[in-house]
Amino acid sequence: MKTATDGDCARDLAANIREVRHGGREPLAQALAAAVADDLRAGIAQRGVASLAVSGGSTPRLFFDHLAQEDLDWSRVVVTLVDERWVPETDARSNAAMARKALLSNGSGRARFVPLYDDAPDPESALDVVDARLDDVPLPFDAVVLGMGLDGHTASFFPHGDRLAAALDPRGEARVISMRAEAAGEPRITLTLPTLLATQALYLHIEGDTKAQVLAQALAADATAEEFPIRAVVRYAGEPVRLYWCP
Distances (CA, A) of 216 to 13, 103, 187, 212, 235: 10, 30, 28, 6, 13
* Residue 25 forms part of a structural domain: no
What's the domain range around 189? 31-246
CB 173 within 8 A of CB 155: no
DSSP 151: T
Indicate the SS3 state at residue 177. Answer: strand
Task: Find the CATH number of the domain harbouring 163.
Answer: 3.40.50.1360
What pLDDT is recorded for position 4? 36
Taking residue 149's Cβ as centre, other Cβ atoms within 10 Å add up to 19
Using CA atoms, how far apart are residues 133 and 238, in angstroms rounded to an integer?
25
Per-residue pLDDT tens digits for 74-110: 999 999 999 999 999 999 999 999 999 999 988 999 9
Using CA atoms, how far apart are residues 143 and 119, in angstroms rounded to an integer?
28
Per-residue pLDDT tens digits for 14-67: 889 999 999 999 999 999 999 999 999 999 999 999 999 999 999 999 999 999
* Residue 9 forms part of a structural domain: no
Phi and psi angles of residue 150, each rounded to the nearest 5 degrees, phi first: -70, -10
- Identity of residue 155: A
What pLDDT is recorded for position 6? 43
* Residue 15 forms part of a structural domain: no
What pLDDT is recorded for position 5? 36
* Residue 117 forms part of a structural domain: yes
* Residue 8 forms part of a structural domain: no
How many structural domains are present in the chain? 1
* Residue 1 forms part of a structural domain: no
CB 63 within 8 A of CB 145: yes
pLDDT band for position 9 (50/70/90)?
A: low
pTM: 0.95
Indicate the SS3 state at residue 174. Answer: coil
CA neighbor of 59 nearest in space, from 82, 88, 86, 89: 82
* Residue 48 forms part of a structural domain: yes
* Residue 235 forms part of a structural domain: yes
Using CA atoms, how far apart are residues 181 and 229, in angstroms rounded to an integer?
13
**What percent of the chain stands above pLDDT 70?**
96
